[in-house]
């Protein structure tokens, strides 16, 4: 990607379970440079250090690379981190099913220490994505919006009265772990039948497995969520039925969130959504009947993310800018 030394205004990093993605934003907020490294894994004992500090090392390396290329001073410039899981206001990763080795680590403090600065903006990755979509993405100018990122799990965030909802501890928005079926599959969070067990990428895989066992879809079509979506796009009836059931669960979860937040807009992101018009229309159709008083009111509008997989890193950079003195 091209980059220039005078146009970078901030840097954001999105720490995922498999990769650490950094982006540099230019004057208009567009991404002018990006850099990624694999996330250090719990099983990597060769590092000989707690994984929290290994993750901090990797984040610092991504930041250093982008700062050098963009001509920024890491001790003073605007920068922020998005991390997967429940993050306390002080930057401590309280709970993170997809980054288990870093639980309890104060990622913000560990990274700040490596950069020679006193603090760094840290928030949950879905909160960061919502900030980006609200700032200049799909939810721009919208005062009441919900963001759902459908990946391995479901990342969630709410914009209420034009502001990101944080809650008492900064833990608000964990919508993926609303229980919608107590006899449903086990969730990495320790509960059962969470919303994300049905309406995420892995949820789609689960529904495909069930359909395969019941003989309503063939093995080739249900080999992976991607194969299933491809088969559905080609008109495979069994695959279309699984996709429709997926959309029903997704609509059910959105209906629950609508009962709580009354949003006018729901932004949907993640690998399952991107490029799949197959999901939007059936979900909107199910939502119209799933929401309370569906016959008497307008359901929230469903739209795909405008910023795509970079939304989390972009939002982290914006939070970094907002935290600047």
Binding residues (CB under 5 A) for Zn ion: these are 177, 187, 189, 191, 194
Residues pairing with 145 in the sheet:
159, 265
Find the shortest distance in angstroms from Cβ 195 to Zn ion: 8
Going from the C-alpha of 112 to that of each of 53, 74, 77, 109, the distances in angstroms are: 12, 9, 12, 5
- Residue 324's SS3 state is coil
Find the shortest distance in angstroms from Cβ 254 to Zn ion: 17
Nearer to Zn ion, 95 or 136 (CB): 95
Q: How far apart are CA 295 and CA 86, in angstroms?
A: 37
Token pair recorded at residue 279: 């999901």
8 A C-beta contact, residue 312 and residue 129: yes
Nearer to Zn ion, 114 or 177 (CB): 177
Nearer to Zn ion, 107 or 187 (CB): 187
Find the shortest distance in angstroms from Cβ 201 to Zn ion: 15
Find the shortest distance in angstroms from Cβ 97 to Zn ion: 8
Nearer to Zn ion, 110 or 194 (CB): 194
Nearer to Zn ion, 26 or 188 (CB): 188
DSSP H stretches of helix in the chain: 51-70, 107-115, 125-136, 196-199, 201-213, 225-233, 237-261, 277-290, 311-322
Find the shortest distance in angstroms from Cβ 167 to Zn ion: 17
Largest CA distance in the chain: 61
Could you tell me which of 205, 296, 207 has the C-alpha nearest to residue 249?
A: 207
Nearer to Zn ion, 173 or 299 (CB): 173
197, HSE (Cβ side, Cα atoms, 13 Å): 19
Find the shortest distance in angstroms from Cβ 170 to Zn ion: 19
8 A C-beta contact, residue 318 and residue 283: no
Nearer to Zn ion, 125 or 133 (CB): 125
Find the shortest distance in angstroms from Cβ 283 to Zn ion: 21
8 A C-beta contact, residue 222 and residue 242: yes
């Amino acid at each position: 990607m091209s980059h220039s030394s005078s146009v970078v205004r901030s840097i954001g990093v999105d720490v995922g379970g498999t990769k650490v993605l950094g982006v540099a934003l230019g004057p208009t907020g567009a991404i002018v440079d990006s850099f990624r490294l694999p996330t250090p894994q719990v099983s990597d004992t060769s590092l000989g250090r707690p994984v929290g500090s290994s993750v901090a090392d990797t984040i610092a390396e991504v930041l250093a690379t982008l700062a050098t290329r963009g001509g920024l001073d890491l001790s003073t410039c605007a920068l922020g981190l998005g991390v997967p899981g429940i993050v306390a206001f002080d930057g401590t990763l309280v709970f993170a099913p997809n980054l288990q080795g870093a639980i309890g680590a104060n990622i913000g403090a560990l990274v700040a220490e490596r950069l020679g600065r006193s603090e760094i903006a840290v928030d949950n990755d879905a909160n960061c994505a919502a900030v980006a979509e609200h700032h200049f993405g799909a939810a721009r100018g919208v005062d009441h919006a919900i963001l759902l990122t459908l990946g391995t799990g479901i990342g969630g965030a709410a914009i209420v009265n034009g502001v990101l909802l944080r809650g008492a501890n900064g833990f608000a928005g964990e919508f993926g772990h609303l229980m919608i079926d107590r006899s449903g599959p086990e969730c990495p969070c320790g509960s059962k039948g969470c919303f994300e067990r049905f309406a995420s990428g892995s949820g789609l895989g689960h529904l495909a497995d069930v359909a395969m066992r019941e003989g309503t879809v063939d093995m080739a079509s249900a080999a992976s969520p991607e194969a299933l979506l491809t088969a559905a796009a080609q008109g495979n009836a069994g695959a279309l039925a699984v996709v429709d059931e997926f959309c029903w669960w997704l609509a059910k979860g959105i209906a629950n969130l609508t009962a709580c937040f009354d949003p006018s807009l729901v932004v949907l992101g993640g690998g399952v959504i991107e490029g799949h018009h197959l999901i939007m229309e059936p979900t909107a159709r199910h939502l119209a009947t799933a929401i309370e008083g569906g016959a008497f009111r307008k359901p929230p509008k469903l739209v795909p993310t405008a910023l795509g997989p970079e939304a989390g890193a972009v939002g982290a950079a914006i939070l970094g800018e907002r935290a600047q003195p």
